[in-house]
Structure 1
Amino acid sequence: MDSITTFIYNFNTLMFLLFALMYAYQIVYMFVAFKAKKDYKSEPGLQNDHLNKYAVIIAARNEELVIGQLIKSIKKQNYPEELIDIFVVADNCTDHTFQAAKQAGAIVRERFNKDQVGKGYALDYMLKTIEKEYSAKNYAGYFVFDADNLIDENYIAGMNQTFNQGYRVVTSYRNSKNFDQNWISSGYALWFLHEAEYLNLPRMFLNTSCAISGTGFLVHADLIKANGGWIHHLLTEDIEFSVSQIIKGEKIGYCRKAIFYDEQPVTFKQSWNQRLRWAKGFYQVFGNYGKKLLIGIFKGKRNSFSCYDMAMIIMPAVLISFLSIIVNGSFLLAGFFGILEGVETIQASSMALLQCVGQIYVILFILGVITTLTEWREIHCTRWKKIAYTITFPLFMLTYIPIAITALFKDVKWKPIAHTVVKSVDDVR
């Protein structure tokens, strides 16, 4: 074995060990999730808990097609209607979102600002409007949804129960309206199910902090007041909020009884733009909060593990994979074009490249299969599609690699995603 082949072998061994060291705790999470699922089966159902008054905030941009169904699902809750007020901010809309939301029974405000674009600014606008015009309502907390969401009839009752346990931020079980549309929508949907039950559930079971994921969460009014509104305006305001709260010592809860559905992109262009924003947003969060997270890890406080967990979430594993692929690919090209001599170089780099991609595919396939089997009843599509989409799930996730690379160098702006799946909760089921 020559020196170049030895280097390739040692490099790939090092990359594998580094990846395993960083993310081995998520394998432990899988086993904890199995235990938690078993234990929660014996738990009693929803209890007669203290009933809090809540405001529901929906940030909507050109969502006239779907927003009525969300409002309808909120109004059908097994929770006193007088304790739920629905607020919609029609943000820079050019359609009839305002009229559709008002007709469905929401309190609606319009916002037009071409400079401050994004969900975070819309949320802050509505929170300040509520504080100014509805302070006498004394809301205990604020639910946040996207306009394309739908919520199960026991959603608010379940979230209220977890909220009453002392959690000032609570996230929920994220399902999808259009799992069965194609390999792209199912890729998103399967990951969100995995995130709910194999990341947030074990975190909850182990008494560490969970993380919110874009939509479907509840925040205590006191926390919003202490923050001075919604102050998070990076491209991924959800993970920014989660990280900032965990650094402060806040523990985010998870309610698996509270199920909501959202619509996933179905074209690769839409998916590329959305995930490009997410990837760039993760880099922004790491740039703004990475130092504080590292300090939190090594300070030895009770939230040190949660800080580590969040650091691993916003340091995408795809970058380690990308480094391995680029190094092996460079050696392969150098051998192919004669820059480096020796058939062994081509063979070694080719084998390492195939092993790298193959290992990623196998790991993701296993995650997809486990999630599909355990969440089988919650995945609303035909049996053969459930099976087929476990095969395409790793391919969907692998496309994060070029997206993460592009995000490193590209200036990314927020772009709206059109939502066209008009369904009720019953339709989804």
Structure 2
Amino acid sequence: MDTILTINIVIAVVFTCCYAYQLFFLAVPFTKKQEPHKPEVLHRFAILICARNEEAVIADLIQSIRHQTYDQSLLTVFVMADNCTDATADIARREGAVVYTRFNREKVGKGYALEQLLLHIEEDYPKVYDGFFVFDADNVLDCRFVEEMNRTFSDGYEVVTSYRNSKNYGDNWISAGYALWFIRESRYLNNSRMLLGTSCAVSGTGFLFSRQVMESTNGWKFHLLTEDIEFSVHHILQGRKIGFCADAVLYDEQPVTFRQSWRQRLRWARGFLQVFRKYGFGLVKGIGKGHFSCYDMSMTVMPAYILTVGLIIAYLVGGVMSTAEGISFLPCLMYILQTFLGLYVVLFLVGVFTTITEWKRIHTTPLRKVLYTVTFPLFMLTYIPISMVALFSRKVQWKPIEHHRADRRVLETAAGRK
């Protein structure tokens, strides 16, 4: 058992060393103010939406774009109907979008659809747009979203990401788990990074990049399972600083079934490993040169649950060896339970802190806000078996998530009517 205790101490020290800075990040928004914006310049934007069988939600997104306070003459909505078998394309055209269609069963995924969409735009509208927004079809935008993003874009950031909120926080413990994590990521990771002057990271959807960024990669060339993180890491390694706009609020829909959640997060976990395999050397090299953003991104693509998986494997191996030597397995089991309890407490405190400080931005009943702080750690701990599968699975592929929500309360809030 001395060996197990030593392993426990070593892993605890590694955890602390790796992620202590994120505890510091929790205090940053309360101690540091955002620098004033530079004079605003109005830019012409292309809005990119890649949609696969999203007839239930795409109209709400386009309508929320049409309700923006930004000059509508400077916005063009482009939709790539990607392998659709429903009315997505027809609905998008009816709402005034420029629609392209794509049918390719081999190159599947958002990255390939974005690549094809940008090729069409550059062929049909060459050199027209200063920047490109990327949204998922289930998103809904606050009415000031583009206006606020343009202010940060005018400050000189070539890539800008936004505050990611949720349309369906209160559906169940799964949707709330996602939503609370994304709110925490927006408020206490990207916001703190922005205030400290280091690079932020794109999270899935609701981001903007300049024409210069698009031309630097000759379109969209990011096709790993987590193309958003790949995009972020690539540009950070190129020396670009990704900005964050705390006042640009986006609402997206979270999965509500564990099966969908497992499939999606398995793809993310596998995608993190892909990104680390492709960019790990560059990140380590950047860390050696003293670039904090490279360290920060390394902790993002090689997250804490990988260390947890390693710890549990070490416990089990040690327990088996102890049993073989005639020593009770019970102490090893107690160490595992203590580890899970410690993780639960840390995640619970993070969830409580985020819920209290972002209370007004969480759209559900007070009772559910409280209840889902209790279930939040359980949701996060399910990453452990997902990570174990991702480490050994070679057949993880991108698959669409079904969306059905059109919450009137969120639509009214986004439109500024509440």
Task: Give the whole-Å Cα distance in 2 for the aligned partners of 1:422 and 1:126.
Answer: 26
Correspondences of 1:379-418 after superposition (within 5 Å): 379-410=362-393, 411-418=395-402
Alignment-derived partner of residue 85 in structure 1 = 76
Write the deviation string for residues 383-411 of structure 1: whole angstroms up to 9, x where unpaired: 01000000000000000011011011112
Query: Does 1:29 pair with 2:45?
Result: no
1:203–1:209 Cα contact (<8 Å) kept: yes
Give the drift of 1:351. 2.1
Task: Give the whole-Å Cα distance in 2 for the aligned partners of 1:331 and 1:386.
Answer: 40
Task: Give the whole-Å Cα distance in 2 for the aligned partners of 1:143 and 1:15.
Answer: 41
Given candidates 19, 40, 56, the residue that maps to 1:49 is 40
Query: Does 1:323 pair with 2:307?
Result: no
Letter in 2 for 1:197: R
Q: What stretches of structure 1 move > 6 A for 4+ residues in a row?
A: none
Give the drift of 1:10. 1.1
Alignment-derived partner of residue 128 in structure 1 = 119
Correspondences of 1:276-355 after superposition (within 5 Å): 276-300=266-290, 304-332=291-319, 338-343=323-328, 346-355=329-338
Given candidates 181, 195, 200, the residue that maps to 2:171 is 181
Task: Give the whole-Å Cα distance in 2 for the aligned partners of 1:48 and 1:221.
Answer: 20
Task: Give the whole-Å Cα distance in 1 for the aligned partners of 2:355 and 2:316.
Answer: 33
Task: Give the whole-Å Cα distance in 2 for the aligned partners of 1:385 and 1:115.
Answer: 42
Task: Give the whole-Å Cα distance in 2 for the aligned partners of 1:350 and 1:332.
Answer: 8
The runs of 5 or more residues in structure 1 that have no matched partner are none
Alignment-derived partner of residue 102 in structure 1 = 93
Task: Give the whole-Å Cα distance in 1 for the aligned partners of 2:317 and 2:286.
Answer: 37
Give the drift of 1:334. 5.5
Alignment RMSD? 1.6
SS in 1 for 2:324: coil
Write the deviation string for residues 400-428 of structure 1: whole angstroms up to 9, x where unpaired: 01101101111201111000002352167
SS in 2 for 1:394: helix
Alignment-derived partner of residue 238 in structure 1 = 228
1:69–1:423 Cα contact (<8 Å) kept: no
Letter in 1 for 2:53: N
Query: Does 1:229 pair with 2:219?
Result: yes
Alignment-derived partner of residue 156 in structure 1 = 146
Given candidates 358, 371, 389, the residue that maps to 2:341 is 358
Task: Give the whole-Å Cα distance in 2 for the aligned partners of 1:332 and 1:234.
Answer: 37
Task: Give the whole-Å Cα distance in 2 for the aligned partners of 1:252 and 1:108.
Answer: 29
Alignment-derived partner of residue 145 in structure 1 = 135
Letter in 2 for 1:103: R
Query: Does 1:426 pair with 2:409?
Result: no
Give the drift of 1:48. 7.6
Could you state the TM-score of these two structures normalised by the residue count of structure 1? 0.93
Alignment-derived partner of residue 19 in structure 1 = 15
Alignment-derived partner of residue 201 in structure 1 = 191
Task: Give the whole-Å Cα distance in 2 for the aligned partners of 1:178 and 1:381.
Answer: 8
Given candidates 37, 60, 63, the residue that maps to 2:54 is 63
1:8–1:348 Cα contact (<8 Å) kept: no
Task: Give the whole-Å Cα distance in 2 for the aligned partners of 1:340 and 1:23.
Answer: 36
Write the deviation string for residues 128-155 of structure 1: whole angstroms up to 9, x where unpaired: 111110125x211000000000000000
Task: Give the whole-Å Cα distance in 2 for the aligned partners of 1:283 and 1:326.
Answer: 18
Give the drift of 1:299. 2.2
2:39–2:154 Cα contact (<8 Å) kept: no
Give the drift of 1:325. 1.6
Give the drift of 1:284. 0.4
